Structure 1
Amino acid sequence: MPELPEVQALADFLGERAAGRTVVAADVAAIAALKTYDPPVTDLVGRTVAGVDRHGKWLDLRLDAPGTASTGSTAGELHLLVHLSRGGWVRWSDRAPTTPVRPRLGGSSKGTALALRVRLDDGSGFDLTEAGTRKRLAVHVVRDPDDVEQVRTLGVEPLSPAFTPEALATLLHGKNQQVKGLLRDQRAIAGIGNAYSDEILHVARTSPFKLSRSYTDDEVAALHEAVVTTLRDAVAAAAGRPAAELKDAKRAGMRVHGRTGQACPVCGDTVREVSFADRSLQYCATCQTGGQVLADRRMSRLLK
């Protein structure tokens, strides 16, 4: 799943290429991906892309109303909000196809399927696609990003000035839960998912199952530093890369996530895994749990 660094890179990539261009076509291929009906997606046509922003893991294409781009007015502005979920992606084309898009009602197509195609006035454009049979990509056309509850209720941006050690301590001590779950909770901290939470916890040298209220001041400071440095480094590594390269760049930069059975780059121990119903986590026992191995079941406890 694309997380904060990749979504930021996609926002920058699209912003550099689409800003100032006018939408000439917006064709829905997967009806199930479109989560709103008012305004209709056809209202994007004729509008100019004012910019591309990011909210957590959400992409936000801001589109000016016709005739307002030169004045800077936000009256009548629309937002194309996209959550790529696990299998979604953005595929840019300098020469977008002009063949008609055939709407698809179902969400169970195998392989990579087209969800939405947007063409711009210079002939370029982008496709929103989704791989796999579990179609969760979400497209919203709204007047304000806060019209989407998942955006309105996002927690603090971890690379913003508001994310201080004190703010993190408040989140940790507000509810006693496993720290990995807190890092992945979008209502607490926006933009961190399964992969970067593994990376952050490895950098912080802490167990993914450590309870949040057990954190001391020093441990809070270490976790805060790990969040900020891990995400900042990942954003820098992704910056300037074409959309087609971001997935491979993300995998190549991982220390423990997705590297079960390989050597930890810090201590050389074997990276281990805990599997759940629909996901897994990876960690290093030497670096994170004092050498103890986590039981591979949902309600895991440390094995003795």
Structure 2
Amino acid sequence: MPELPDVTVYVERLEAKLRGSTLERVRVLNPFLLRTAVPPIGQAEGRRVTGVERLGKRIVLALDGGQCLVIHLMIAGRLRWLAAGAKPPGRITLATFEFDAGTLVLTEAGSKRRASLHLLADRGALQAMDPGGIDVMKADLPGFAAQLRAENHTLKRSLTNPRLFSGIGNAYSDEILHRARLSPVMLTRALDDAQTAALFDATRAVLSEWTDRLRGEAGDWPDKVTAFHPQMAVHGRHGLPCPVCGAPVQRIVYADNETNYCARCQTDGKLLADRALSRLLKASWPRHIDDLD
């Protein structure tokens, strides 16, 4: 799922291309994409784009008259920019937004349709959609600490909770926790002040560094948005060496997600129980990184 760095780059490129442009036509090609009926989507046509914003992991096209088009890419949704008159890709296209400057295309790979589009009547409706998480890049340490300790959950769960923190998901939470050298299953209220400060610094550093990296790689448009990058320390790198200590990166698999971590750097060598695999292996489940063959 595109997270804060990816969405920020999308927003910057859209702002450069669309501010002041008129949305001439909207075509919704999949009935499951549009999640609002009032106002009707046709009311967005003929309106000028007054700005582009990020709302968590959502992209907001602000239109004159106060209306807002809100795009949530979810896991497999992506945006493409085509020159005016160019043909969008076939089956994966969910919607097209035709401007005088070109066409914005919303695609989604795979068979599951999770991406969404909302047309909101005004800023009040947009505010109601905001889950309330703080932007860590604009927060100070006391504000970050207060959010972190508002609920007693694991660090992984808290960092990815949109009611607490804006725009952080599975990929960058792995990278943040590795940078801070903290266990993903450590409880938030168990952190001391030094650990909280380390997590705050790591969060800001990782998000800033990756935003800069993706901004530089994007060129005119970010065509290759992915949650997996070879330069990442642990995310998506199960079994590969940790760039800090060389130990093999470990993982915890649950539902459609997984958490990647370095046992030596983050958990004092302890291997965290994988809900499925450790139950299967039971007594044979290794407890420490040094127990691995």
Give the structure-1-normalised TM-score.
Answer: 0.86
Residue equivalent to 2:259? 281
Among 280, 287, 292, which residue is 1:303 paired with? Answer: 287
Cα separation, 2, equivalents of 1:228 and 1:114 = 34
Cα separation, 1, equivalents of 2:91 and 2:147 = 38
Residue equivalent to 1:2? 2
CA contact (8 A) 1:165 1:224 kept: yes
- Corresponding letter in the other structure for 1:91: R
CA contact (8 A) 1:292 1:303 kept: yes
CA contact (8 A) 2:2 2:225 kept: no
1:146-166 deviation digits (Å, cap 9, x = unpaired): 425773222101111xx2221
1:124-163 deviation digits (Å, cap 9, x = unpaired): 1111111122211010001235425773222101111xx2
Among 211, 228, 240, which residue is 1:235 paired with? Answer: 211
Q: Report the secondary structure of 2:223's partner residue.
A: helix
CA contact (8 A) 2:68 2:126 kept: no
Once superposed, which parts of structure 1, at least 4 consecutive aligned residues long, lie more than 2 Å away?
95-99, 143-146, 148-154, 171-174, 245-248, 298-304
1:90-127 deviation digits (Å, cap 9, x = unpaired): 0110134479x9xxxxxxxxx962111011124x1111
Percent sequence identity is 36
- Corresponding letter in the other structure for 2:237: R
Residue equivalent to 2:25? 25
Among 246, 264, 280, which residue is 2:242 paired with? Answer: 264
1:171-212 deviation digits (Å, cap 9, x = unpaired): 232221111000000000010000000000000000000011
How many residues in Structure 1 have an aligned counterpart in Structure 2?
A: 279
Residue equivalent to 1:90? 79
Structure 1 residues 80 and 49: CA distance shift in structure 2, 3 A:
same
Residue equivalent to 2:148? 172
Structure 1 residues 223 and 86: CA distance shift in structure 2, 3 A:
same
Structure 1 residues 286 and 94: CA distance shift in structure 2, 3 A:
same
1:52-89 deviation digits (Å, cap 9, x = unpaired): 1111111001111xxxxxxxxxxx22111011000101
Q: Report the secondary structure of 2:259's partner residue.
A: strand
Q: Report the secondary structure of 1:246's partner residue.
A: coil
Unpaired stretches in structure 2, ≥5 consecutive residues:
280-285, 289-293
Among 111, 115, 134, which residue is 1:137 paired with? Answer: 115
Among 74, 79, 82, which residue is 2:68 paired with? Answer: 79
Structure 1 residues 147 and 47: CA distance shift in structure 2, 3 A:
same
Select between 135-144 and 3-12 the one with higher mean Cα deviation.
135-144
Structure 1 residues 274 and 167: CA distance shift in structure 2, 3 A:
same
Unpaired stretches in structure 1, ≥5 consecutive residues:
65-75, 102-110
Q: Report the secondary structure of 1:32's partner residue.
A: coil
CA contact (8 A) 2:78 2:225 kept: no
Cα separation, 2, equivalents of 1:79 and 1:253 = 36
Task: Give RMSD over aligned pairs.
Answer: 2.4
Cα separation, 2, equivalents of 1:205 and 1:137 = 34
Residue equivalent to 1:207? 183
Task: Note the C-alpha offset of 1:246.
Answer: 3.4
CA contact (8 A) 2:56 2:130 kept: no
Residue equivalent to 2:165? 189
Structure 1 residues 234 and 117: CA distance shift in structure 2, 3 A:
same
Structure 1 residues 56 and 24: CA distance shift in structure 2, 3 A:
same
